[in-house]
Structure formats: C-alpha cells, structure tokens
Structure 1
Amino acid sequence: MRRFLHCLLAVFCFSALSAQTGSITGTVSADGAPLDYATVTLKKSNYGTYSDEDGKFEFDKIPVGAYTINVSFLGYQSFDEKVVVEEGATTAMNIELMEQVGLLDEVVVTGTLKEVSRLESPVPVEVYTPAFFKKNPTPNIYEALQNVNGVRPQLNCQVCNTGDIHINGLEGPYTMVLIDGMPIVSSLATVYGLSGIPNALVERMEIVKGPASSLYGSEAIGGLINIITKNPLNAPLVSADVMATSWQEYNLDLGIKLKAGKNLSILTGANYYNYDELVDNNGDNFTDVTLQERISVFQKWNFARKSNRLLTLAGRYYYENRWGGELDWNKSYRGGDEVYGESIYTERIEFLSSYQLPTEEKLLLSTSFNSHDQNSVYGDLAYLAKQKIAFGQLTWDKQIGSHDLLLGTALRYTFYDDNTPATGGDDSNPLNQPDEIWLPGIFFQDEIVLHQQHKLLLGLRYDYNKDHGNIFTPRFAYKWSLSDQDILRLNAGTGFRVVNLFTEEHAALTGAREVVIAEQLAPEQSYNLNLNYTRKTYLPRGGFVGFELAAWYTHFTNVIYPDYETNANQIIYDNLDGRAVTKGISTNVDITLSNGLSLLLGATFMDVSTEENDIKKRQILTERFTGTWALTYQLWDHKLALDYTGNIYGPMRLPLLGELDPRAPESPVWSIQNIQLTYRGKKNVEIYAGVKNLLNWTPWKNQDFPLIARAFDPFDRGVDFDSNGNVIATETNPNALTFDPSYVYGPNQGIRGFVGVRYTLK
C-alpha cells in the first residue's frame, strides 16, 4: 500500500510539474514588414527557432520562469527583452527590429579569410550594410563611399569625371576591391568596377584599412573593400529601386530570385543609369558633369550540395558610355581637333566561383576572371586599352587545438595592352609588347588562442615575379579583450604592389599632357603599424554606444610617383628616390537609442607626405582631415525616418602648372550635406525623397580664376613651348599655362532634389 501511494504521489508530482509550462509566440518585423529567417533564442537555454515567411515564431511547452529572449537579423540591431513564462499562459510579443548602421557583432571574412565574429577577429574590420547606404541613396557604390570615414571617392578629371578610391589618403592603385572575396575589380580605376553593381544585391561591405598583402597579394597595400553579395537562398523574391533627381538623373536597381529545381537558386540583378543633360553653371563652356549611360547585369548561382558544401558561380556584364567636354561636342567630333571632348566606352566581363572540394578536410577552390576593354579619346588623343586578369586560389582551413590554421596557394595572371609607347604601340605594330604579369604565391596563417582574453595571428606570404624576384610579406596581429566591452588590437606587417601600367593612368592622357615612363619601375613596398581600440556599451533601456579609435603609421619605399611639376606638358612616372609616409588617427562613434535615434560620427586626421633629396612635400589631392556623419530619427512607429548625412574635408594641395599658375595652391575647407525622408507605412514599399548638397557647394564658387586652365584653347594652339617642352610666358599667355582639367578636388554638381521608390517581395 505504501509503495502504491509513493507511485501515485510520483505520478501526481510529475503531472503537476509537466503542467507548469507555458508558451511564447510573436512576430518579428522591420520597417513595417515581416522578417523571415530571423534567429530567435532564449538565452542560457537550449530553446531556439527561426521566424517563418510571415515573421511568426513560437516556443511551446516552455517551463515556467524568467527568460531573456534574443532576436537577431543581419543588418538590424540585436533585440533583447526579459519575458516571464507563466503556467498555462501564452505570452505574445511583437518585435520591431531597428536598422543598424555600424555593426560590431557582424560575421566578417575579409580580415582573415575565415568567417568570424567582428568582435573576435584580431584584424579590425569595418562593416556597412544596405541600411547605411540607404541613408544617402546614390546610383552606384563608388559615390556611396563618400560617407564612410577615412574613405573618399576622388575625381581625377573635371571633364571625364573618372576617379578612384582613397583609403586613409592613399590613392586608388593602393586599394584592392573584391566581390565575395575575389579580386574581380582591378585597380585600373575603381570607378569602373564599383559603378553598376546593383545595390539590391549587396548584403554588406567590409573594409580593412592598411596593408593586407600577406593574404591578398599585390594591390592590397593600402586597404581592402570587399563587397559581399546576397545569398540566393535568403534574398527577396523581387526587389526594385527606382530613383530620379531634379538634374534629370535616372537610376534603376532590380533584383529577382528564382528557384530552378530542388538544388539550384539563382539571383539576378540589373542596374541602369542615365544622365543626358548639358549643364554649364560655371560658364567655362565645358560640361559641369559628365553625361553617362551605363548598364550592368549580375547573376549568382547557388547549388545545394551534400554536407552543406559550398558551390557558387557568378558573373557580371558592364557597359558604359560617358563623355564630357565643350557644349557643342557630338560624336562626329570624336577623336578630332575641332571641338574638344573626352569620350570613353567601357565594356567589362567578370566571372567568379567558389567550390568546396568533396573531402573531409575543408578545401576551398576560388577563381575569378575579368576582361576590361576601354575605347577612349581625349580630344584628338586616342587611348585604346585591354586588360585581362585571371585569378585562382586554393585554401586549406584546419583547426588543431588552440591553432586555427589557413594554408593557401594563389596564381594571378595579368595581361595589358594599349596603343601607347608604354607597351610599344597597338596590335598593328610589330614592336608591340603587351605587358604580362604572372604572380604565383603561397601563404600561411596561424591564429592562436593564447588565453580567453588573448589571441595572436601570425602570417607569411611568398610571391614570385620574373621582374621583381622573390617577395616576402609577413604579418602580425594581436587581440586583447580587456573586458566584455573593450578590445585592443595591434597589427603590423608589410605590403607590396608590382608595377601594373594600367593602374598608373588615372590622371594620364587627360588634356594635352604626355605620359612618360622614366625608368624600369620597381615594386612598391610598405611597412605598417596599426593600433585599434573598440568599446561597446549596452544601454539599460535598450540601444548601445560603440566607440572606435585607431592610429596608424605606414612607410613606403619605391613609391611610383606621378610628377606633374617638372614639365607642365608631361606626367612623368618614376620611382621616388626617397620615402613616403602616411600617418594619422581616426575615430568612429556609433550611437543607437531605443527612442529611434541613431548617430554615426567619424573623423580622421592624417599626414601623407613624400621626401626626396631631403625635401618633404605633402601628397597632392590629400586632405589633412575629414569628418563624416549620419543622423537618423525614426518616428511615427518607425514608419517615417529622417536622415541627415554629410562630410567635411580639409585643405588639399592641388596640382599647379608652374610658378605663374594663378589658381589657388590649396583647396578650401568644403562640405557636402544631404537630407532625406523615408516612408515605410505601406507593406513591401518604401518611398523616399530629399535634397543632396544642401549648401549648394561647388569648387568653382568664390574662385577668381577658372578651374580648367585655358578652357578656351583646349588644343593649345595659342601656347608656345621651348626646346625642352616647357611653356613660354607670352603676351597672350602671361601665366604660361596649357589646357589642364586635372585641377579638381570635388564634384561640380550643385544642389538637387531626388525622389525614389523601393519595392521588396519576400
């Protein structure tokens, strides 16, 4: 009888305990639209799930008690809230995620070629998502980078508006641009590679400032920009973004996802941009802004394989027709000497792939290829160039105890040919010698966990080039987690860049200047030290404050230096017989509050100089300081957002044509500011409108002399030269000038309104 009572009591207690459960249900949304595949977990428990296509989630039969529910989704601030589960009750929650500008907990791959939390990475990586770039919508990624601290799109020509990307004051050839980790965009002129990438397909952008040649090889000497495209499995079914401005610029971004069978997902994106209005507000008879028409089509294939092994293929086609010049120019004048115009036809084809080998070890084979065909005329001077780059890389990723190893081998082939003396002439010339560069290399990286708070990364790369011989690039990184909120990182290493003539033409062939290669150019090398401190503070009522402070010092040898000053009619490329140094300090402050207010502030102070024959000079077109900001305020239950973005730049040393040049030797302090309203009250639809360049700033205002020298004589018919090619001052040319549109430091486009619509179907 006693045993029976004990059993009955046990059954009763078990029934009572099993009844002491409850449920949690809810929906996850953002901007008024449901979020599918958001991660929902109960902290310090084994309970976790994902939201469905309607944003709904459910935890059933959860033991009673207090929990902390966590919701996370890429591009949005992580959500945490305490919830009490009561017996037999269902707790309902409606969770609205807030857009996040600068993410500290992102999974990044650029710094170490491995997927790792940004907080855990020993290499500092900055992450920017589409939420950031939507605060100041632009027709291409090149222009969007103007609001990233320490990164500046630099125009190099007032007529054709081509340019490059500066990172911490270093010019475009020092910046490597990657798509999904592959060097698909060469540094010939990053404006071509970054224009036309459909913004609808961008998952995030990762930026590393400082040399990364030990992992990525040549060209990664100043920094990396890695554009991560969306996974077709998680991308929306349809996304579209249409924008127009009061200057009659029109831009269309389109993304479509298709499911082809059980194991194949295809993501297709297209971008079209058109600007066809003649504007000459500064009255120099030249177009203020280059007329452009471009189209880009991108497609990415994702194959489902056993054991979740990776297989992706992607390709992009890009075509652009741009011209600028005298207002009465048309195609009939192309290449002639009657009316001056700069006309550029560009065609690019790009492919990339990633294939994880079917082995027990984690082996990844990655490849990329791009072909660039440029048909350009600058007045009566033709520039016809072709470049092909093929790249392959095999990596082995292995974890052994506290050592996280990465071993890889890579091969890059670069082919370049043009119609200039740089390669001996065009194809019809029997002396034509295209430039071909083979660059094989191997690299090794060991990430060591010394302690829970200390992590060490050691790396070494070896490359071989027939012209430069053996090239070694070591790397060192140390991460010290001072606390859960504070991280200190120290990075040191070297970088290199082999000579690639196509990367040196960024300001060449513009106007009447002649390109001169002074000698057999040697490879550039750099030695870098970077100290980075990060702090993240969560606020008691939601939101957080992120703070980042970085200081760097980089020493360059064999710098390829464009000399504008020795001869006003030439650009002479030569290795600097001396050294170049870039040093500085930068800071970012990221504030997100639960009341809908977020603020991202950035500032950079730097000194970039060259020293030759004991004479130190500031680098041309490099600002002493820069600042950026992005202020967002969400109101009306997050259905309406106000964005105020902008930047400010310090004085730059400008390229003059000689001592008699009357133009200012330095630029003034200048700023571009923008404001925008975004309405998200309609399901799947966003409507946005605003004003760009609120201050209506342009570089030609408050100038006593035209920025384009001798715009009235673009073929230099009224210019006299001496026997050495130097300009002679005459009565009709007292300042000894030639036609020169390279005196440029900011965009000529003034204030303009814009309006756009985004549509997303998940």
Structure 2
Amino acid sequence: MKLKILIIILLLVQWTTIFAQSDATLFGHVVDETGTHIPFVNLVIKDTRIGTATDISGHYMINNIPPGTHSIVIQHIGYKTKEMQFTIAKRESKEFDITLETITVALEQVVISGSLKEQSLRDSPVKIEVLGAAFLRKTPSNNLMQSVGMINGVQQVTACGVCGTNEIRINGLEGSNTAVLIDGMPIMGALASVYGLNGIPNALIERVEVIKGGSSTLYGSEAIGGIINIITAGVETAPRFFFNTNWSNLGDRNADIGFSPFRGRKFDALFSGSINTMERFTDLNKDNFADKVTISPSVSLFNKWSFQRPAGKTASFAAKFYHENRAGGTQEFLGAYNYKPDSKVRGSDSLYGETIFTNRYELMGSYSLPGSAGLRLDISQSGHWQDSWYGTTFYKGEQHISFANLIWLIKAGDRHNITSGVTARYQVYDDNTPVTARGSDKQFIPGIFVQDDFRINTRTNLLGGARLDHHSRHGLVFSPRLSAKYNLTGNTILRINSGTGFRTVNIFTEDHAALSGFREVVISENLKPEQSWNVSLSLNQTINRLVGRWVVLDADLFYTRFSNKILADYDTDPETIIYRNLPVGDYAVSRGVAVSANGRINGFFTWTAGFTWQDVFAVSKSGSEKPEKEAQPLSPEFTGNWLLSWDARKIRTTVDLTGTFTGKMLLPTVDPEVVNDDRLSEAYSLINLLVNYNLNQSVRVYAGVNNILGWRQSRNPVINWQSPFSDGFDAANVYGPLYGRAVMMGIRLLM
C-alpha cells in the first residue's frame, strides 16, 4: 500500500513538472552511419545543466531551452563525442537529427578514476576497465554484483551459506582489499564491505570503473587491492521518469521508480526509490536450511541535485538511504520469524537462524571553488548501523565516516597535468565485541597527495605520485605510485603500473565466518596493518576493420605481495578460527595472467571473452628447512567470462547470452561427511540468457533465465547442518550457486 501511494505521488509531481516546462524545445533522433537509431545517448547543451538521453528507440526531446545559439555535446560509448551548434527562437519547437561516427569500442570514453579528473580512456596511463549503463542491462538480474562479476578477473563470492553476505574479489584478493567508491568518494567502510555492491540500483548508474591493483596514492588505505568506482547518473541526462519492475520464479520481486523534475532551470534534481523482496523458502539439497537468503524488504532511496554555475563550474549534492532486513536458517526458524527486531525467535537456542537488520545513509557533495585556480572540494558523510543475531551470538555495530578532499588540478605547460590535494578522513566504529570494550574506536587520518601525468612525447606518458597519511596508531604512512604508457603504434598501447598499499583490519566487520558458526575466534596478537606492493604489465591491441567492426585484445600480467598479511587459520584447531599476522619473513602473493578480447560484427553482434589464471598463496619460512607454500581459500585457479549480444533493431529486440566459468578452489573447512576430503571444490560454468523487446519508444519488456544449465554446488555449504548449535557447525563452504535455474520477467518504462 505504501509503495502504491509513493508511485501516485511521484506521478503527480512528474505530471505537474511537465506542464511547467518552457515551449522552447529541441527534438529529433540519433543514428549511426548506417542509419540505425542509438538508444541511451547523452546530450547536454554546453555550459548549461540542460540535457537528456535518447530513449529506447533513439529519439530525444529537450525542453526549457533559452532562445539563442547553443552548442550541444553528444556522447555515447563506442562513438566519437560530437559537438554541434543550433539556433532556437523563443517557444520554437525545432527538429534536430544527429549522426554519430563509430569508434573502436570505448577508448575515447571519459573516465576519472585514474587521476581524479576527466580524461580519455585511451590517454589514461592507468588501465581502467569500464562497464557502461547498457552493459549493466545485459544480465538477467537487477543485482550490480552479478554485472560486475562479468569483468575478467573479478569474482563474486558468497561469504556465508546461511546469511548470504557476499563480496567482490579482484585477482583473488579478499573483498575487504577493494575500495568501493561512489562518484569517487570512499564512503563504504569496513562494516558495509561484506554487503559488496548491494543496495545500488542499476537504474541509477551511468558506468562502473574498475582499477585492478593498489591505488592508495589517490584513494587512501582501503584501496590496497583495487577500486570499484560507481559513477551515478548525471541529473541532466537522466530520464524524466523511469519505472522498472521484475520478478522471478524463486520469489524475487523488485521495483525501481524515479523522476527528474526542474529540467533546464538553474538546478536539476533526480529522485529515485527501489524496493526488493525475496521471501520464498527453497531447500533443494534437503538440509533444512534455506538455499537462498530471504529479504523482507530492502529499500533504497536516492536523491541528487546539480546546480548551474558560470564557466562550467560544478556544484552537486546527493543523498542515499538504504534499509535491509535479511534472514537465513532452518525452515522452522524462518516459519516462526516475523522479520521484526523484537521477534522472539531471534537468538533462539532451539531454532537456528541468522538475522541482520541494516540501516545506512550516505551524503556526498562536490563544489568547484570560484576563480581560475582549478580547486574542487569533495565531501561525504556516511553512517551504518547493523543489528544481528548469528544463532545465539549477538552482534551490534555502527560505523560513521566523514571525508573531505580538496583537489587542485594544474596544467603546467603542454606536458604536465598535476593533481594534488589535502584529504581528511574521520571514522568512528563501535560494537559489542571485545574490540571496543574500552570505548568506540576513533581514527582521524589526514593526508596530502600529489600526482603528475607527464607527457614525455606524443607516444609516451609517465605518471608518478605519492601520498603521505598520518594514522593516530601507526604514524606516518607513505604510498608511492609509478605508471607509464607507451603507444607502440596508433592501435597498440603498453602500460606498466606499480604502487604500494596499507590497510588496517577489523575482523568482525569483514569476515562473517568470525560470527557465523560455533568456532571460537582467537586473535593471537595485536594485529598490525597489512602492507603490499604490486606491479602489473598490460598490452592493448586494437584491430580496426570496416565501419562498425572491430576487435580489441588485452593481455595482463599482475603480481601483488603482502607483508603483515592477516590470515584466518582454520586448520590448527577445528574448533577455532585463529587470526594473526604472517610472521616476519613470511609473505602472501597474488599473481597471474589475464587475457581478454571483445569485438563487434556487422554492427549488430558484439562479443567479449576473458580468461584469468591466478595463483594466490602464502609462504611460510619459519619452523621449516625450506619455505612452505599454502594456497588460500576461495581463490580459484582460473576464472573466465563471455558475452554474445545480438541487437536486432529491425524487430526491436536484443538478445544477450552471458556466461562465466570458475575453476577448482580450496575450501575453508574440512567436511567430515566427505571421505578423505581434499577441501577442493569442483569446476563449474554458468550460462544466462536475457531477451528484450521494445513495445514502443518508452516501454520495454524483458525475460531471462539465470543459470540455464541448473548447476548447483554438490557439497553442502553448511558443515554439520544436523546439529547447528554444536561446535562442528560451520557455514563457510560456499563456492557456487545453491539453487538452480531461475526464470525472471520484467517491464521497463522510460519517459
């Protein structure tokens, strides 16, 4: 009922804003060289906040345009950015059709993650992988986690077989080593990291930028293994109104709604809401535990404002709220649970269940200071509250992060582009564990950084940078960075990247194995911060063919070495998890090779394929004559992914077939029901299908199948499930889907 009222209110506001618009209108369509209409193209009138995006059929309309001569900038992945002039009179309605020129993939796309400023993906000395909004809609899911998992070398991992928390791993490194950014700001703290990218609707995302390897120089201590930077949709190019809903045969239901009023005035605004429920109990492996976590419900609200300022100066503000109520456990527990914090079965010692209540807010702002100095202030504030029971273990925690970044962008002559700044991060963490027995943990981390992108000649760029942070407990921390890019030819690019990382760890916020199950947690020492250094070599080769046809090849070598790595020891004592730093002289390594390719055929077929071999291990030199190498859990030896997409525009249909494959991996726990258990999972492959059909310019219906082959992991993820309150109970052995084939259907409306 509440959702229906919300939809009615949003429709009324949208209706009134439409009638309030000016009569000055520019409209038309955007096509490629073959005359094929292009959907979701961004169009912005230069030096204003006035803009829009083409609809499903490639048509657009911009209202509220002041009379005069203007320049309009047209951008879309895979096409050259175009700037055109037009003249419009007061109350005129003018048709203005646009043709874009195809380029090779997205090498001319603008990115920001490598340097905190906009630059071409081709020109960036740092290798950045980009998922555009269109790519996010090629998997039959509304879950950003599944879409990001289509990047070569990026793996989605479920951390708990009962509560279903998950994480994103880059090159085999734990999810806590990856900094998740929203519009370039590090607001996802340790307490939120176990939820990965949940709670961020795909409809709000313009693109996702991924950097593999340490990026601490620009983004601080959390970016020890890489970054995932989620760029939210620009207010001026967002749809005026959108609605998306889908449901599946497993009981998943999702709805997104949003609108963008005030278009073309001195400010623009985007309002959005999302709700998701998963309430059906499924138990295909007959262990009396739910194969899929139940959620009732998760709610996400998002609001973004953008203000028009002279000389192209930026001023924006965004706010996001997320609420989630998740539960997993036995059928008896979930049948008695009413999804309320005061439920009598929470913490029960007879019915096993795990319940997590989460509330989270995020505030973000960016403001370009007046004048010509190129100063920009980015600020953010976030708060996260968690109230949870893991069987009879109660965990309650909260974390608050305040962040400010004053960035100074300088162009020194024709060769130097300097990014420098001062940063401050203040974080407060408190919970009911011994970690904060003496009071909340408060850290103030000020820092300074500088980076110079030096163009040596037309072929060579050298990027060097350094960061100096001060931690109240660990003193000064220095993080250097060095990257180089060399254009071997016009279509061949060689990049070398290196850098260091530094990260403090909180066990209970990052590893749910410390809370789920009945192993005793032992922290054997005062844990020191993890430190790392990394180096990577990448080669990018573009093969240009005819218009609308191309092939891009990528090859990467990567190596990351940790000292003071904190490892969970499951083997010394089967009834405990022992957390400790590696001894002096011991180290941990993530190394490997990644190859990928993507291309376009005849303008209608696109494809991608990627393969990563990785070796993630720890080396112990103490207590033995020769070093001992030990593989790390949940890091498969190889992973891969592929995509085949067919855009049949004449029949208004797109078909996307996606797949992943995952090699064997070491599991955290020995299963006593498996004879001579070697703790190795089996290799597996998942295939997904999504079909979209455009009913008209505004309405799209779609249907898809996740896991067409119906593959499920053969091992039970819950060890000793018959006795969930015993010492041998453990829920950490999750390495693949626990449920089989899932069919989903949905409808999307854009106006």
Place the TM-score, normalised by the shorter chain, in its bin. 0.7 to 0.9
Letter in 2 for 1:538: N
Question: How do 1:553-564 residues align onto structure 2 when only pairs under 5 Å count?
Answer: 553-564=559-570
1:513 is aligned to 519
**Residue deviations 1:25-62, cap 9 Å, x none?**
9841598677675599xxxxxxxx999995599xxxxx
Q: Shift of residue 336 of structure 1?
A: 1.6
Out of 601, 626, 630, the residue aligned to residue 617 of structure 1 is 630
1:276 is aligned to 279
Q: Shift of residue 443 of structure 1?
A: 0.5
Question: How do 1:310-459 residues align onto structure 2 when only pairs under 5 Å count?
Answer: 310-329=314-333, 330-331=336-337, 332-401=344-413, 402-424=415-437, 432-459=438-465
1:674 is aligned to 688
Letter in 1 for 2:725: F
Q: Shift of residue 230 of structure 1?
A: 1.1
Q: Following the alignment from structure 1 to structure 2, what is the Cα–Cα distance between the partners of residues 570 and 199?
A: 40
2:705 is aligned to 691
Out of 463, 466, 469, the residue aligned to residue 460 of structure 1 is 466
1:460, 1:473 within 8 Å by CA — same for their partners in 2? yes
Out of 168, 178, 188, the residue aligned to residue 191 of structure 2 is 188
C-alpha distance 616-748 of structure 1, shift in aligned 2 (>3 A): same
1:497 is aligned to 503
Q: Is it true that 1:593 corresponds to 2:601 in the alignment? A: yes
Out of 521, 545, 548, the residue aligned to residue 551 of structure 2 is 545
Q: Shift of residue 709 of structure 1?
A: 1.7
Q: Shift of residue 759 of structure 1?
A: 1.1
Q: Shift of residue 291 of structure 1?
A: 0.3
Question: How do 1:64-463 residues align onto structure 2 when only pairs under 5 Å count?
Answer: 73-78=75-80, 103-192=106-195, 194-259=197-262, 262-292=265-295, 293-329=297-333, 330-331=336-337, 332-401=344-413, 402-424=415-437, 432-463=438-469
Q: Shift of residue 569 of structure 1?
A: 2.2
1:605 is aligned to 613
2:669, 2:732 within 8 Å by CA — same for their partners in 1? no
Q: Following the alignment from structure 1 to structure 2, what is the Cα–Cα distance between the partners of residues 210 and 220?
A: 8
SS at match of 1:516: strand
Q: Following the alignment from structure 1 to structure 2, what is the Cα–Cα distance between the partners of residues 148 and 301?
A: 31
Letter in 2 for 1:596: F
Q: Shift of residue 267 of structure 1?
A: 0.8
Larger radius of gyration: 1
Q: Following the alignment from structure 2 to structure 1, what is the Cα–Cα distance between the partners of residues 182 and 560?
A: 26
Letter in 2 for 1:179: I
Q: Is it true that 1:748 corresponds to 2:731 in the alignment? A: no
Q: Following the alignment from structure 1 to structure 2, what is the Cα–Cα distance between the partners of residues 228 and 412?
A: 21
1:28, 1:97 within 8 Å by CA — same for their partners in 2? no
Letter in 1 for 2:121: R
Q: Following the alignment from structure 1 to structure 2, what is the Cα–Cα distance between the partners of residues 442 and 120?
A: 25
SS at match of 1:160: coil
1:19 is aligned to none
2:640 is aligned to 627
SS at match of 1:307: helix
Q: Is it true that 1:572 corresponds to 2:578 in the alignment? A: yes
1:714 is aligned to 724
Q: Following the alignment from structure 1 to structure 2, what is the Cα–Cα distance between the partners of residues 26 and 263?
A: 24
Q: Following the alignment from structure 2 to structure 1, what is the Cα–Cα distance between the partners of residues 681 and 171?
A: 18
C-alpha distance 282-200 of structure 1, shift in aligned 2 (>3 A): same
SS at match of 1:422: helix
SS at match of 1:712: coil
1:729 is aligned to none
Q: Shift of residue 754 of structure 1?
A: 0.9
Q: Following the alignment from structure 1 to structure 2, what is the Cα–Cα distance between the partners of residues 624 and 52?
A: 43
**Residue deviations 1:256-308, cap 9 Å, x none?**
11117831111112111101111111100110101012000011111111222
Q: Following the alignment from structure 1 to structure 2, what is the Cα–Cα distance between the partners of residues 191 and 645?
A: 26
Letter in 2 for 1:183: P
Letter in 2 for 1:322: R
C-alpha distance 234-670 of structure 1, shift in aligned 2 (>3 A): same
**Residue deviations 1:368-406, cap 9 Å, x none?**
111110001011110111111111111110001111111
TM-score, normalization by structure 1: 0.84
1:137, 1:144 within 8 Å by CA — same for their partners in 2? no
SS at match of 2:149: helix
Q: Shift of residue 152 of structure 1?
A: 1.1
Q: Shift of residue 566 of structure 1?
A: 1.9
Out of 632, 646, 657, the residue aligned to residue 659 of structure 2 is 646
**Residue deviations 1:516-575, cap 9 Å, x none?**
222111111111111111122221242211111111111110001112222222222211
SS at match of 1:361: coil
Q: Following the alignment from structure 1 to structure 2, what is the Cα–Cα distance between the partners of residues 541 and 366?
A: 41
Q: Following the alignment from structure 2 to structure 1, what is the Cα–Cα distance between the partners of residues 140 and 152?
A: 17
Letter in 1 for 2:312: N
C-alpha distance 137-268 of structure 1, shift in aligned 2 (>3 A): farther
SS at match of 1:682: coil
Q: Following the alignment from structure 2 to structure 1, what is the Cα–Cα distance between the partners of residues 40 and 703?
A: 25
Out of 502, 520, 531, the residue aligned to residue 525 of structure 1 is 531
Q: Following the alignment from structure 1 to structure 2, what is the Cα–Cα distance between the partners of residues 163 and 681?
A: 36
Out of 571, 582, 596, the residue aligned to residue 590 of structure 2 is 582
2:259, 2:271 within 8 Å by CA — same for their partners in 1? yes
Q: Following the alignment from structure 1 to structure 2, what is the Cα–Cα distance between the partners of residues 79 and 471?
A: 41
C-alpha distance 78-244 of structure 1, shift in aligned 2 (>3 A): farther
2:749 is aligned to 759
TM-score, normalization by structure 2: 0.85
C-alpha distance 282-658 of structure 1, shift in aligned 2 (>3 A): closer
Gapped regions of structure 2 (runs ≥ 5): 1-26, 46-50, 63-71, 83-95, 338-343
Q: Shift of residue 104 of structure 1?
A: 2.2
C-alpha distance 746-697 of structure 1, shift in aligned 2 (>3 A): same
Higher mean C-alpha displacement, 215-224 vs 254-263: 254-263
Q: Following the alignment from structure 2 to structure 1, what is the Cα–Cα distance between the partners of residues 79 and 285?
A: 45
Q: Following the alignment from structure 2 to structure 1, what is the Cα–Cα distance between the partners of residues 577 and 434?
A: 14
1:102, 1:127 within 8 Å by CA — same for their partners in 2? no
SS at match of 2:634: coil
C-alpha distance 317-38 of structure 1, shift in aligned 2 (>3 A): closer
1:640, 1:681 within 8 Å by CA — same for their partners in 2? no
SS at match of 2:217: helix
1:649, 1:670 within 8 Å by CA — same for their partners in 2? yes
2:369, 2:377 within 8 Å by CA — same for their partners in 1? yes
**Residue deviations 1:125-168, cap 9 Å, x none?**
00111211211032321232222211111101110010211001
2:245, 2:746 within 8 Å by CA — same for their partners in 1? yes
Gapped regions of structure 1 (runs ≥ 5): 1-24, 41-48, 58-69, 81-91, 425-431, 720-737
